[in-house]
A and B are shown apart, each in its own frame.
Chain A
Amino acid sequence: NAGVTQTPKFQVLKTGQSMTLQCAQDMNHNSMYWYRQDPGMGLRLIYYSASEGTTDKGEVPNGYNVSRLNKREFSLRLESAAPSQTSVYFCASSEIRDRKAFFGQGTRLTVV
């Protein structure tokens, strides 16, 4: 099993450009999450999807949108990238009952 797969692994954007980060899981999990990781800040929740068809804001949602395309896929969109969005982005999924969250390998995004 691949687990949680994120694409792309690396991306450089210019300020104002848009892009979508893709995430897919093959564990049949109901819940999916997007986090960002910045030096010294730990991981902070951007958006989450408790189940297919629902999405909710996390701690730091400004500047982002999400789409739960189906049970497997959860995408994160930056409509107009800003240098403050330079970060490593992680997608995760979990099952409601046992709450164990599994993470992808991350997308390293640089906005110049």
Chain B
Amino acid sequence: GENVEQHPSTLSVQEGDSAVIKCTYSDSASNYFPWYKQELGKGPQLIIDIRSNVGEKKDQRIAVTLNKTAKHFSLHITETQPEDSAVYFCAATFGWAGSYQLTFGKGTKLSVIP
């Protein structure tokens, strides 16, 4: 099955700086890579995703890049704000046409220092 490694496990940045979280995956058949943000006491919330036919996707201050050859993808948050503080999870899908199972990384706790 799929294995997803996520680094770093914790990340502290000053408000206004950029944050980068990196993930690698093992199954070359994986073709969908979402990122989730989880605030304390809440469920994961999808913030951005990328499919394997695209190398980069941006949504305001958030961007995701994908390198299929190296089997890694990254989340970039620019101009960080205190409300960006949360745990972020990357994921990759494998499966068949009937269902797509997400395999998650272990998470990165991001702290944005005002």
Interface 9-mer from B60-68, B73-81, B98-106: B98-106
Chain B interface mostly: strand
Question: Is A43 touching B99 in the complex (CB atoms < 8 A)?
Answer: no
Question: Is B100 touching A42 in the complex (CB atoms < 8 A)?
Answer: no
Q: Is A74 an interface residue (CB 8 A)?
A: no
Question: Is B42 touching A106 in the complex (CB atoms < 8 A)?
Answer: yes
Number of residue pairs spanning A and B whose beta carbons lie under 8 angstroms apart = 61
Cα distance A78–B101 in the bound complex, in angstroms? 22
Cα distance A96–B100 in the bound complex, in angstroms? 7
Q: Is A105 an interface residue (CB 8 A)?
A: yes
Q: Which residues from chain B contact A50 at a C-beta distance below 8 Å?
A: 98-99
Render A45-61 as a binary contact track against B, CB cut-off 8 A, 1 for contact. Answer: 10011110010101100
Q: Which residues from chain A contact B25 at a C-beta distance below 8 Å?
A: none
List chain A positions with a Cβ less than 8 A from chain B.
4, 31, 33, 40-45, 48-51, 54, 56, 58-59, 90, 94, 96, 99-106
List chain B positions with a Cβ less than 8 A from chain A.
1, 6, 9, 32, 34, 36, 41-46, 49, 89, 93, 97-107
